[in-house]
Structure formats: structure tokens, C-alpha cells
Structure 1
């Protein structure tokens, strides 16, 4: 058992994978807590798909895929924030339009090439086992900036998330805060892309926070619990993928999903089994 736990840590590429997985988990949870609080998980999926045409452009031009993907994601996020201000269309509708349009654009751009390469495939499905020291440093720096920015703006973001009209009436720049949050979501997604890839990144952004949400109403507690769950799920997923030769990104997401299902079943007060037990206990009293 001890050898099972210590063997991966003796390999340099696994050490880098563990580091990036932990950083990505914490960053996505800190930003994702506001995504879950606002009930806007769809924006994470939309931005993840919006990154794809930027990646495709970088692929065609032989540029840095992370930079071109981040640029495309931020442009789309700002566009969503601006267009969502109209009362004629709700936020989900605008997000859905850009979700489909962005991914369609990416497919068209990629289709102009004769063949796909490993770089594009790894960006879609993650490349956590092939990262270098520079990748770890870049993820750590971006992650630290995102966490610090979230901490500085947490009160304003909470106010906008809970009651936009009241926040606007109190003088808060709601549109600017929306753009900042969308940009932060984009940056968190780009950070996590190397761990789980474009296809699965939404799970890292939303699932741990949603799992913690099953057990608490307080944002601070939810964020702390979600960070622990995300870190555990990422490490456990890497262990399983290493020992059983499975896809690392997919395994991380499956572990996180499994923890959510356990919380949905057994979480105090809000879990299915807890509610059923409460009803059974209340039935004799009612009689």
C-alpha cells in the first residue's frame, strides 16, 4: 500500500502533474464558487467552447495555443456580458448562441487543415502527464493572480451574484463586475485545460463547488470544502490513472463526479437519503 502511494511521487512528470492538478483544482473552485452561486454553470461550458476557435487559430498559425485560446475566450466572455445587458434576451440565451457559434467556428477553422496534430488533441483532452517545469510555473503564477483578484473582489461579486438590481442601485459597476467574472472564468479554464482538456474542463470548474453546495449555505465554507474535495479528487484521479493506465483528465473528472453523487445521496439536510429519513421520522409524529 505504501509503495502504491509513493511510487508516482518518485517520477518527475508525475510530480509536475500533481502540482498542476492541485493548482488547477484550487483556482477553478475559487472562481467556480461564484459560477455556482449565480447558477450560471452554462457560462463555463460556453467559455470552454469559445476557447476552441482561438486554439484552432493558434494551431493554424503555429502560435501558442494557450494564448490564442485565452484571447478568444476573453473576447467571447466580454461579448456575452455586453449583449446580456439587454432585457430582450436572458443570459442563458446569449450564452447558448455563443456556445454553439464559437465551437462551430473552431470546427470550420480546423477543417481547413489537412490533418490534426497531437498538440490540438492534447488541448482538447488534456496533457497533464506531458507538462514541463515552465508550464507548472505559468499555471502557478496565473493561478495566484486569479485567487488574489477573487479575494479582493469577493464582496462585490457576492453582491452582484445574490441580487443584481440591489447591487446596481447601491452604485456597484455591475457590467464591469460581470466582465471581470467572465474574464476570470476564462483564465481559470485556460489554467485547467492542461489538466483535463477543453472537453472536460467544466467539471473542474463546477462539480467540486456544486458538491460542497450540497452541504453548506455559506460561500466561505463552500469554497473551502470544495477546494479540499477538488484537491482530493484530482490527486485520487491521477493515482488511479497512473496505476491502471487510464486517461488522467477523464479519471479526475470521474472521481469528482462520483463525490458529487455521494453528496447528492448522503449530504446532511439536503441529501436524498437524509431527506427520506427525515420524512420517515416525521410520519409517526404526524399521526
Structure 2
């Protein structure tokens, strides 16, 4: 037990665990919609789209999360503009802006020779450096996420099931999609400190995929995904402590592994149940009575 509890006696590990837990709940809620709506590519693009904003903010001395928010918001607006005005498909517009943002971020980073250390934190996060201000920001992000997800739940469900029916019901599917993109942006930006821009999608997808193997209802999936995400954060921090690996990357890898482990356990249980189901006696069938 001491091996499990000793790392969490350290103050900065406690803050990392609390911050990671807040990120896990945000990503559990939003990641469920990302999986249901097939928005993984958008989430990846948002994560990389933060890079130029974070780089510029770091160079000029502004808070990196402010730069991340501005850059991710510009990314989401740009995707919408290209789809409406440029008549491009969603994946094409996302792909174009994804490469453009990533290239611009690398250009900004390469232009400063004193940027190497900060670049590593941008790409892979620094969950062990989470402070009181970061925890407050994550708490606000979580509160906003829960309120928006609750208020927009009916519209999000209708948008996922049948956008045309949602339009007939007056649920404004376009507005619901914009709000959902905003939630993805908020989740990506809030998770940036913990796991960085390259690994944030792992927190969005891994726990949600793992939870989806055990429940088919949306709200229970969100709750289970949040719980799996918290466990992934704790396990990732423990592995990082004992193996001396990068904390953010280990947490993200653990979150992704949760999906694989959950799928394997679900398949194994299904295989164990199948022989018992086949062994049950078949009830005799009786001919139907004719008038």
C-alpha cells in the first residue's frame, strides 16, 4: 500500500491528481459526444490548432491558456467559414486548417532559439506543474461544461440521431453543432496544461470508448467515462512516479489503454457467456392451431 499512497503524499502530486480528475470529468462528458458524433478528427485538429496561440502567448508573456483559447476558437470559426463559404466538406476544411495551424506553430517556435523547454511543455503538457490558479480555471471549465451539456442535452441527442427531425422539432441543429464544437474547444483547452496539445485527444477518446462497452445510455456513459478517466489519471501518475517517465504522456497513454483493456474484458466476458447460452436446452416448439 505504501507504494500506492506514498506518491500522493507529495503536494504537487496531489494538485496533479486533482487537476487531472477535473480534466477527466470534462473529457468524460465531452468525449462521449465526440465518440457518438464521430468528431475525433475535429478534436485532434483543435488540439494542434492551439499550438500557434500558445507559442505566441509564451513569447509575448501572456498566459499560455489564453493563447490556447484564442487559437482554438479561431480554428473552430475557420472550420465553419470554410464549410459555408468555401463549400468544402468538414474533413477537408478541418484538414486544411489543422496543417496550417500546426505549421504556423512550428514556425513560431523555430523562430525563437530559447523556446526548446517551453515547446516540450506545449506538446506533452506538465501536469505536475498544475497550480492553484490552474485548478480554479479547471473548476470553472467543468462547471461551464456541465451546465451547457445539461441545457443542450435534448438538442445534442436529436442532432446525433436525426438532424432533420431535430430541425422539425425546432431544436436548431446548426446551433447545437456550434455549441458542441465549443464544448470540444473548451475541453481541449482545459486539458492542455495536463497532457499537452499532442496528447489531449487520448483523454477525450480513451475513457469514452472504454465506457461505451458497458452502457448504451448517454448519461451513464458520461459518468462511467469520467470515473475511468480519474482512475487513468491516478494510475498514470503512479506509473510515472515509479518508472520516472513523463507524467502527461503516461496519463494519456493510460487513458488510451483503458479503452483497449475495457474492450478486451468485454470480449472475454462475452466469450465466457456464449458456451453457457449454447448449453441451455432448447424449448420444444408446437404447431400453430388452425381454425
Under a length normalisation based on structure 2, what TM-score does the superposition of the two structures give?
0.88
CA distance in 1, matches of 2:160, 2:76: 17
Q: CA deviation at 1:5?
A: 2.5
2:124 is matched with which residue? 125
C-alpha distance in 1 between matches for 2:120 and 2:105: 13
Counterpart check, 1:176 vs 2:175: yes
| Structure 1: tracts of 5 or more residues without a match | none
8 Å CA contact 1:81–1:178 kept in 2: the answer is no
> d(CA) in 1 for partners of 2:37 and 2:18?
29
* Structure 2 CA distance for aligned equivalents of residues 164 and 78 of structure 1: 21
Q: Which residue of 2 aligns with 1:135?
A: 134
| 1:257 to partner: Cα distance | 2.2
8 Å CA contact retained: 1:125, 1:198: yes
CA distance in structure 2 between the aligned counterparts of 1:95 and 1:280, rounded to whole angstroms: 48
Q: Describe how 1:129-278 pairs up with structure 2 within 5 A.
A: 129-267=128-266, 271=267, 274=270, 278=274
The farther-off stretch of 184-193 and 107-116 is: 107-116
Which secondary structure state, in structure 2, belongs to the residue aligned with residue 258 of structure 1?
helix
Partner of 2:35: 36
Kept after mapping to 2: 8 A contact 1:78/1:182: no
Compute the displacement of 1:234 (Å).
Answer: 0.7
C-alpha separation between the residues in 2 aligned to 1:87 and 1:168? 24
Runs of 4+, deviation exceeding 6 Å: 283-286
2 CA distance for matches of 1:82 and 1:278? 51
State the partner residue of 1:8. 7
Q: Is the 8 A contact 1:238 1:252 kept in 2?
A: yes
Q: For the Cα contact (< 8 Å) 1:53–1:106, is it kept in 2?
A: yes
Give yes or no for contact 1:34–1:158 (8 Å, CA) kept in 2.
no
Q: Which residue of 2 aligns with 1:109?
A: 108
1:276 & 1:43 partners in 2: Cα distance? 38
Q: CA deviation at 1:81?
A: 3.1
Verify the 8 A CA contact 1:59 1:120 in the aligned structure 2: no
What is the TM-score when the length of structure 1 is the normalising length? 0.89
Residues 124-171 of structure 1, C-alpha deviations (whole Å, 9 max, x = no match): 111111122121122112222222221221111121122222212322
Q: Residue 77 of structure 1 corresponds to which residue in structure 2? A: 76
Q: Which residue of 2 aligns with 1:66?
A: 65
Q: State the alpha-carbon separation in 2 of the partners of residues 194 and 227 from structure 1.
A: 18
* CA–CA distance in structure 2, aligned partners of residues 253 and 158 of structure 1: 28
- Total equivalences in the alignment: 282
After superposition, the CA RMSD in angstroms is 2.5
Are the equivalent residues in 2 in contact too, given 1:49–1:99 (CA < 8 A)? yes
How far apart are the structure 1 equivalents of 2:268 and 2:103? 39
SS of match in other structure, 2:198: coil
Q: Is the 8 A contact 2:51 2:122 kept in 1?
A: no
Distance 2:210 2:91 in 1: 22
Greater Rg, structure 1 or structure 2? 2
Contact 1:38 1:162 in 2 (8 A): no
Which has the larger displacement, 74-83 or 191-200? Answer: 74-83
